[in-house]
Amino acid sequence: MCLAVPGCIMSTRGADLSRMARVDFGGVVRDVNIAFTPEASEGDYVLVHVGVAIATIDETAAARIFQTLETLDAASGRSA
Amino acid sequence: MKYVDEYRDAGAVSRLADAIAAATTRPWKIMEICGGQTHAIMRFGLDQLLPDSITLAHGPGCPVCVTPDSYIDKALEIAATAGVIFCSFGDMLRVPGTQGTLLDVKARGGDVRIVYSPLDAVEVARSNPEREVVFFAVGFETTVPANAMAAYTAKQEGVENFSLLVSQVLVPPAMDALLSNPDTCVQGFLAAGHVCTVMGTQAYTPMARRHGVPIVITGFEPVDILSGILACVQALEHNRPEVINMYARTVKPDGNRAARALADAVFETADREWRGLGKLARSGLALRPAYAAFDAEHRFGAARPARPAASACISGDILRGLRAPPQCPAFGTACTPEHPLGVTMVSSEGACAAYYRFRSATPMAGE
Contacts of B63 in chain A (CB under 8 A): 1-2
Contacts of A61 in chain B (CB under 8 A): 248-249
Q: Judge whether B226 and B17 are in contact, CB under 8 Å.
A: yes
Mean pLDDT over A70-78 rounds to 76
Read off the amino acid at residue B354: A
Contact A17 B36 (CB under 8 A): no
B residues 209..248 contacting A (CB < 8 A): 220, 223-224, 227, 246, 248
Adjacent-strand bridge partners of A45: A8
Contact A57 B3 (CB under 8 A): yes
Read off the amino acid at residue B159: V
B residues 280..319 contacting A (CB < 8 A): none
Candidates B277, B253, B270, B92; CA nearest to B179 is B277
Roughly how many angstroms between the first and final C-alpha of chain A, as a whole number? 35
Contact B259 A54 (CB under 8 A): yes
Residue B241's SS3 state is: coil
- The pLDDT value recorded for residue A80 is 45
- The pLDDT value recorded for residue A78 is 64
Contact A1 B64 (CB under 8 A): yes
- Low-confidence stretches of chain B (pLDDT beneath 70): 308-310, 360-367
Sign of CA pseudo-dihedral B58, B61, B62, B67: positive
**Global model pTM greater than 0.90:** yes
Query: Could you tell me the domains of chain B?
Result: 1-311 (3.40.50.11740), 315-359 (no CATH)
Angle between helix B257-266 and B144-157 (nearest 10): 60
Number of domains in chain A: 1
Q: Judge whether B105 and B82 are in contact, CB under 8 Å.
A: no
Q: Judge whether B50 and B20 are in contact, CB under 8 Å.
A: yes
Contacts of B15 in chain A (CB under 8 A): 69, 72-73, 78, 80
- The pLDDT value recorded for residue B365 is 43
Candidates B279, B124, B193, B143; CA nearest to A51 is B143
Q: How far is B139 from chain A (nearest CA, A)?
A: 7
- The pLDDT value recorded for residue B360 is 63
Chain A nearest-CA residue for B120: A51
- The pLDDT value recorded for residue B116 is 95
Read off the amino acid at residue B232: C
- The pLDDT value recorded for residue B204 is 95
Residue B41's SS3 state is: helix
Q: Is B265 on the interface with A (CB under 8 A)?
A: no
DSSP string of B18-54?
HHHHHH--S-EEEEEEEHHHHHHHHHTTGGGGS-TTE
| Domain containing residue A49 | 5-76
Contacts of A54 in chain B (CB under 8 A): 142, 145, 194, 197-198, 250, 256, 259
Q: Judge whether B145 and A36 are in contact, CB under 8 Å.
A: yes
Q: How far is B6 from chain A (nearest CA, A)?
A: 9
Spatial distance between the Cα atoms of A23 and B145, rounded to a whole number of angstroms: 18
Q: Judge whether B195 and B36 are in contact, CB under 8 Å.
A: no
Output DSSP code: residue B101.
Answer: -
- The pLDDT value recorded for residue B276 is 80
Contact A36 B248 (CB under 8 A): no
- The pLDDT value recorded for residue A70 is 85
Q: What is the β-pairing status of strands B132-139 and B84-88?
A: parallel
Spatial distance between the Cα atoms of B236 and B212, rounded to a whole number of angstroms: 10
Residue B27's SS3 state is: coil
Spatial distance between the Cα atoms of B46 and B20, rounded to a whole number of angstroms: 12
pLDDT digits (tens, 9 = 90+) for B199-220: 999 999 999 999 999 999 999 9
Greater model confidence, A75 or B186: B186
- pLDDT band at residue A29 under the 50/70/90 scheme: very high
Q: Is the ipTM here above 0.90?
A: yes
Residue B13's SS3 state is: helix
Angle between helix B222-237 and A59-76 (nearest 10): 60
A residues 26..55 contacting B (CB < 8 A): 26, 33, 35-38, 45, 47, 49-52, 54-55
